[in-house]
Amino acid sequence: MKDISCKLLVIGAGPGGYICAIRAGQLNIDTVIVEAAKVGGTCLMVGCIPSKALIHAAQEYEKVEHFAAQRTPLGISVSEPEIDFSKTIAWKDGIVSRLNNGVAGLLKKANVKIVTGRARFRDGKTVEVETLTGQQVIRAENVVIATGSTPVEIPSLPFGGNVISSTEALALQKIPERLVVVGGGYIGLELGTAFAKLGSKVTVVEALPKILPQYDAELTRPIVKHINELGITILTGAKARGMSTKGDALLVETADGRDERIPADKVLVTVGRKPVTTGWGLEEIDLDMDGKFVRIDDKCRTSMRGVFAIGDVTGEPMLAHRAMAQGEMVAEIIAGENRSWDKRAIAAVCFTDPEIVSVGFSPEEAKQAGHEIKIGVFPFAANGRAMTQEGEEGFVRVVAAAGNHLIVGIQAVGQGVSELSASFALALEMGARLEDIAGTIHAHPTQSEGFQEAALKALGHALHI
Amino acid sequence: MGEYIIKLPDVGEGVAEAELVEWNVKIGDLVREDTVLAAVMTDKATVEIPSPVDGEIIWLGGEIGQVLAIGSPLVRLKIEGEGHVADAAPAKPVKAEAPTPAVDQKVQAPKAAEDKPKPVSAPAARKGPTAPSTFSANAPRGEGEKPLASPAVRLRAKEAGVDLRQVGGTGPAGRITHEDLEAYFARGSQKPGAAALAPDNSVKEIKVVGLRRKIAEKMAIAKSHIPHITYVEEIDVTSMEELRSTLNSNKRPDQPKLTILPFLMRAMVRAIADQPQLNALYDDEANVIHQHGGVHIGIAAQTPNGLVVPVVKHAEARTIWDCAAEVNLLAEAAKTGTATREQLSGSTITITSLGSMGGVVTTPVINYPEVAIIGVNKIMTRPIWDGTNFIPRKMMNLSSSFDHRVIDGWDAAVFIQRIKTLLETPALIFVDA
């Protein structure tokens, strides 16, 4: 096969990789992207998008169940719902497929060449790709490593059989009767909650003393409350020991040292994700590492000239939107622009029920960073819009520097607060002070008023509490 | 009123063109006869061009750095009485041999009523757009605190190469606004009055002209053509210094004071007698080495305008006193800018010395197309182990570079070792072998 030479080669067509390639194409950089699967990466294929589809379906199902059980104050009654789960999955697959085609179309429009196959470095400028039709050698002036991450496996619970990762959980053809989730982080709780709504008997096993350990207790309280209402059992401080010999139960050592056997049809292991640093020839180019991640500088440059790395393979936070921003920046750097990573805010959203959104410092983190802070909290119980959509649980919390009122962090928990992430991130990125938010008219009646009120609260003159 | 054209005079040496290196006047200036108008340079001689008449400058014939043909118009003057644009005589250069009074007989330049001083050139300095009065040079910002600015401002700063940590912010909480950035751009090189340190982003454009350009070109050629090998050796000059001191205290009044250079020059003459290939010019285009019998030693000298290399001709035929006298003469001429083209060319090997600033080691650049340059470093008293004790000895390094295309490292080393022997036992310099 004839060798390809290009100015930019992107390895991995996840959100980081494909954005990098599209932007490079816009900048008239001769670009090739290599991907073993369909374009879109974890996010689009087996992550953000399909999980949100499943979460939506579960929420709709739960709503109707509430109506059927007359557990709604709205006076709506329907007969008992039924779900054809294979159709649900087909609908989800349809969305993924549309997005696959969409990304492929965007790459094509940007004149990016897509090579399907598994890439492997021969040296820092040359990559071999095993394609269906043979080996393709690609020589590039610049290479962007965007190989992403993969679910972490527990040695005593190897994936396979009834032990599944999030990838398989999103492709189940049948709703498991009994689902045990090992790992109470956001992925485990998002999926655990969805399956609980769909009728699974869900148990969450978390080794740490609390679930969603990266969030403070105030933020997680509404989640825990709702999880209990859904009948999900949470075992904190518990260690998964392995599967029973028959493979139909998880053996657990509880916090008080007892051995327990939790019957399970499926055991979903969501104990984190690890960067993909094998299988693409890292050993051939011997890059400097930062722990298990590829070390990068503020321009996403690795220790080798002309080799960049972006996304999950470069470290926390492992978020698609971070990877996309890195990819965009790297494309512009390769086009000769002067760019460096100067982002202030990367919002993180947890699509549990209710949702959590967090950007910048929590009060505790701000104190640890040496800030004298002011906090303003506004509960959705006092927000008209939240009341009218049965979403009174939760609040908006603003953390600001006491001296100059500069906002250093914003968190919210509540129904649909993921969409507030835009204004939260904008406030931090623009360097807003409490007065800026307080002085911006927020449309009534919306949940976003909670943001303005939280800022007013921090200033000492909230109007609605 | 008439117009008078001054043409670039023949500045001698049969050159066809000269480089304009300095304008002493500008358009609108009133000049008197003999006022120096400009300086032009050919090779290494700079010549000043005086005005032959009184008048007002109305046109200048070129910009600094421009090369003008001899006879081309240099300056147009507005003069009293009739001009003679048709057959303006070229002005005479001041420094040409036997300068003649540069008076144009055809023009009766009235001298009266011309004594009023030159008008002030520009109306009181025009003010630029005033910076926003709210601007504060240094926003209160804690150590290590990131400058506060919107993404748009950050991008703009990045693209302009501005470090936002250096920019004061007038916005709420010290946020840097677009206006702050603009004020920062406008401020440019202007230093704030406050005692606080402020960054200086000014860039001054200095045209590389005249001698500087010649030096630049020559250095570039030397470094790009010649693969230099530099060899450094330590020399015990205690004996030589004793001899020098004795000679200086017993010298006749008409004899010059001896520095170490004459000793080195004589030692080089001796060493070159053994290794004539070091005293050569390598024409690398024709692939011919011109090995010279006469040892013409260039002495790199610093002048206010830059480096020049006056040449002591025929060092092989000069006594040590003679060498010293010639070095003094040339150094003086070079410093005052009166060295002739003759004195500044024709070297076959060069010495470079930074005198008391000589440092420990230098990597001299060969005076192309020569093949060797000897660098003199500072004499320092150092403890030397004589086998039983440390004794104070006056030590000096020679840092020398050779054209490795034609001089092998071995030969370079032999040459320097020979000079070392001669300088360490200076009697050998004077004894016929």
Task: Name the percent of chain B lying above pLDDT 70.
Answer: 81
Planar angle of CA B214, B217, B223, nearest 5 degrees:
135
Cβ neighbours, 10 Å, residue B33: 17
> Is B370:B349 a contact under the CB 8 Å cutoff?
yes
Query: Nearest CA to CA, how far is A5 from chain B (Å)?
Result: 30
Q: Do residues B134 and B103 both lie within one domain?
A: no
Residues B183 and B119 in one domain: no
**For testing the chain A interface, which of B154, B162, B165 should be mutated: the one with the most A CBs within 10 Å?**
B154
Q: Locate the DSSP E strands across B277-405.
A: 280-283, 288-291, 297-303, 306-308, 311-312, 349-353, 372-385, 390-403
B401 and B294 fall within a common domain: yes
Yes or no: say if B43 and B64 are a contact pair by the CB < 8 Å rule: no
Check residue B193 and give its pLDDT: 46
Residue range A294-321: mean pLDDT, rounded: 96
Please give the pLDDT value at position A334.
97
Cβ distance B174 to A404 less than 8 Å, yes or no, reads: yes
CB contact under 8 A, B175 and A429: no
Interface membership of B148 toward A (CB under 8 Å):
yes
Between A109-113, A325-329, A439-443, B28-32, the lowest mean confidence (pLDDT) is in B28-32
Give the long-range contacts of residues A68-73, CB within 8 A, separation 24 or more. Answer: A73/A390
Q: Determine the average pLDDT of the residues in A98-124.
A: 96
The Cα-based distances of A139 to A129, A172, B58 in angstroms read 11, 40, 63
For A57, A65, A174, the CA distances from A84, given in Å and listed in that order, are 11, 15, 9
The average confidence (pLDDT) of chain A is: 95
Whether chain A has a CB inside 8 Å of the CB on B142: the answer is no
Q: Which residues of B touch A406 (CB under 8 A)?
A: 148, 173
CB–CB contact B151 A430 (8 Å):
yes
Whether residue A28 lies within 8 A of chain B, CB to CB, comes out as no
Chain B residues whose CB is inside 8 A of the A436 CB are 172
What pLDDT shows up at residue B46?
77
In whole angstroms, what is the distance from residue A34 CA to residue A4 CA?
Answer: 12
Residue in chain A closest to B159 (alpha carbons) equals A338
Closest residue in A to B164 (Cα–Cα): A342
* Binding site residue list of A for FAD: 52, 147-149, 312, 318-321
Is A431–B161 a contact, with Cβ atoms under 8 angstroms apart? no
Structural domain that includes position B295: 210-430
Strands across the sheet containing A259-263: A239-243, A249-253, A259-263
Supply the pLDDT for residue B61.
Answer: 84
Residue A339 is nearest to which of B158, B161, B173, comparing CB atoms?
A: B158
Q: Which of B150, B159, B173 sits opposite A404 (nearest CB)?
A: B173
Q: Do domains A163-271 and A348-458 have the same CATH topology?
A: no
Q: Which residues of chain B have pLDDT under 70?
A: 12-14, 43-44, 82-144, 188-197, 433
Question: Is the complex ipTM more than 0.85?
Answer: no
Domain boundary among B207, B235, B253: B207
Q: Does B213 touch chain A (CB under 8 A)?
A: no
pLDDT at residue B185 in the model: 86
Query: What's the average model confidence in pLDDT over A291-316?
Result: 96
CB A338 to CB B175 under 8 A?
A: no
Boundaries of every domain in chain A: 4-49+88-151+274-334, 163-271, 348-458
Q: Minimal Cα–Cα distance from A338 to chain B, Å?
A: 6
Tens-place pLDDT, residues A186-197: 999 999 999 999
A431 touches chain B (CB under 8 A): yes
The Cβ-side half-sphere exposure at A208, using a 13 Å CA radius, reads 10
Which residues of A are less than 8 Å from B145 in CB distance?
Answer: none
CB contact under 8 A, B173 and A405: yes
Answer yes or no: do B375 and B411 share one domain. Answer: yes
pLDDT digits 0-9 by tens, A363-390 = 999 999 999 999 999 999 999 999 999 9
Looking at residue B43, its pLDDT comes to 66
User: Do the chains contact at A431 and B149, CB–CB below 8 Å?
Assistant: yes
Chain A residues lying within 8 Å of B139, measured CB to CB = none
Considering only the beta carbons, identify the residue of A344, A429, A435 that sits closest to B172: A435
Q: Which residue of B has its CA nearest to A343?
A: B151
Q: Is 3.40.50.720 the CATH classification of the domain at A4-49+88-151+274-334?
A: no
**Does the CB of A265 have a partner CB in chain B at under 8 Å?**
no
Nearest CA of chain B to the CA of A67: how many Å?
Answer: 47
How many domains, in total, are found in chain B? 3
Same domain, B107 and B10: yes
> How many CA atoms within 13 Å lie on the side-chain side of B416?
26
Closest residue in A to B161 (Cα) is A338
How confident is the model over A70-84, as pLDDT tens digits? 889 999 999 999 999
Mutation pick from A343, A404, A440, A459 vs chain B, by most beta carbons of B within 10 Å, is A404
Q: In the A/B pair of chains, how many CB contacts fall below 8 A?
A: 30
Structure tokens at B283: 């024409």
| Residues of B forming the active site | 404, 408
Binding residues of A for NAD(+): 183-190, 206, 272
Residues of chain B with Cβ-Cβ distance to A429 below 8 Å are 150-151
CATH code for the domain of B193: 4.10.320.10
**CB distance A340–B154 less than 8 Å?**
no
B158 and A338: CB-CB below 8 Å? Answer: yes
pLDDT digits (tens, 9 = 90+) for B43-88: 657 778 888 888 888 888 888 888 888 888 888 888 877 666 544 4
Q: Which two tokens stand for residue B195?
A: 């005692």
Q: Do residues B11 and B42 make contact, with C-beta atoms less than 8 angstroms apart?
A: yes
- pLDDT, position B143: 64
Judge if B215 and B266 occupy the same domain: yes
- Do B45 and B155 lie in one domain? The reply is no
**Which residues of A carry a binding-site annotation?**
52, 147-149, 183-190, 206, 272, 312, 318-321
pLDDT tens, position by position, A313-323:
999 999 999 99
Does one domain contain both B202 and B217? no
Superfamily of domain A348-458: FAD/NAD-linked reductase, C-terminal dimerisation domain (3.30.390.30)
Q: If you measure CA to CA, which chain B residue comes closest to A436? A: B172
| pLDDT at residue B136 in the model | 41
Res A214 pLDDT > 50:
yes
A435 touches chain B (CB under 8 A): yes
C-alpha distances in Å from residue A165, one per residue of A159, A191, A423, B339: 7, 11, 33, 87
One domain, residues B346 and B360: yes
Can you tell me the distance from the alpha carbon of A27 to that of A327, in angstroms, rounded to the nearest whole number? 13
Q: Is A439 on the interface with B (CB under 8 A)?
A: no
- Report the distance separating Cα B21 and Cα B38, nearest Å: 8
**CA distances to A144, A301, B359, B409 from A305, in Å:** 11, 7, 37, 36
Considering only A91-100, A176-185, A403-412, B334-343, which range has the smallest mean pLDDT?
B334-343
**A337, A342, A433 member nearest B154 (Cβ):** A342
Residue finishing a domain among B79, B110, B126: B126
- CB contacts of B175 in chain A (<8 Å) are 431
Give domain A163-271's CATH number out of 2.60.120.10, 1.10.3720.10, 3.50.50.60, 2.40.290.10.
3.50.50.60
Check residue B84 and give its pLDDT: 61
B175 touches chain A (CB under 8 A): yes
Residues B12 and B132 in one domain: no
Inspect the interface and report whether the beta carbons of A430 and B150 lie closer than 8 Å. Answer: yes
Judged by CB atoms closer than 8 Å, whether chains meet at B150 and A339 is answered as no
**Per-residue DSSP letters for B394-431?**
EEEEEEEEEETTTS-HHHHHHHHHHHHHHHHSTHHHHS
Q: What is the pLDDT of residues B275-313, one digit of tens each?
A: 999 999 999 889 999 999 999 999 998 887 788 899 999
Could you say which of B92, B126, B160 is where a domain stops?
A: B126
* CB proximity under 8 Å: A 334-393 to B: 337-340, 342, 344
Give the residue from chain B lying closest to A400, CA to CA. Answer: B173
Catalytic-role residue among A56, A371, A442, A444 = A444
CATH number at residue B321: 3.30.559.10
Q: Which chain A residues have a beta carbon less than 8 Å from that of B154? A: 342
Same domain (yes/no): B93, B109: yes
**Chain A contact set for B170 (CB, 8 A):** none
Both tokens of residue B223?
């470094």
- Considering the domain architecture, whether residues B191 and B317 belong to the same structural domain is answered as no
CA distances from B205 to B25, B26, B208, B209 (A): 20, 19, 9, 12
- Helix (H/G/I), strand (E/B), else coil: A11: strand
- How far apart are the C-alpha atoms of A367 and A376, rounded to whole Å? 15
Residue A328 has pLDDT above 80, yes or no: yes
